Amino acid sequence: MEDRDFVSRFIAFYLIDYERYKPGLDDFINSSMEMLEKKDVKDIEHDFKKSLNLATDIFGYDAFRKRTNIDAARRPINKAYFEVITSTFAKLKEQEVDSLKKNKELFKNNLIILMNNDRYFRSLSQGTGTVDSVKYRFSKFQQVLEKSINGIKIKITDDNKIENSEL
């Protein structure tokens, strides 16, 4: 049943933008299932597989696992991280995918920087169904993704803002 939970989370955040998230998570997922009945599931399945393949291309065996440094032991797959990565990757245009693949090492290093931000780490670990956690983890992941696609190394300021860093 865990696998169904992962897929349901992807579908929910794929069909409903995270900005429109309202707790609880189960209700949010259920509302997306009602929407699913009116959608072409072939397109959703295609985009889901695309996101899984891209995650594997970028992260390898580390896909969907929180990594706070390059040498840390491998952690378990994290559901909140899975929903962020898959639903975001599924919506990327082909040109963005190509740029991300070219900048994958930068992207992984930028994500390690982000993961070392206490607030971001908590958004994946504690109270993951709150509006604040959902919006924070999605918005910060998207910011890091965009900067990485554009070849920009990031830093996190004391007030949790993502800024450009010197390479």
Query: Is it the case that residue 111 has pLDDT exceeding 90?
Result: yes
Query: Is it the case that residue 38 has pLDDT exceeding 90?
Result: no
Predicted pLDDT at 161:
93
pTM of the full predicted structure? 0.94
Is the separation of the CB atoms in 79 and 45 below 8 Å? Answer: no
Predicted pLDDT at 130:
95
Residue for token pair 């049943």: 1
Phi-psi domain of 47 (left: phi exceeds 0; alpha: psi -120 through 50; beta: other):
alpha
Q: CB neighbours of 19 closer than 8 A, spacing ≥ 6?
A: 135
Domain limits, the chain: 2-164
Is the separation of the CB atoms in 100 and 148 below 8 Å? Answer: yes
Q: 91-126 burial, b for 16+ CB within 10 Å, e for fewer?
A: ebeeeebebbeebbebbbebbebbbebeebeebbee
Query: Taking all residues of the chain, what is their mean pLDDT, rounded to a whole number?
Result: 94
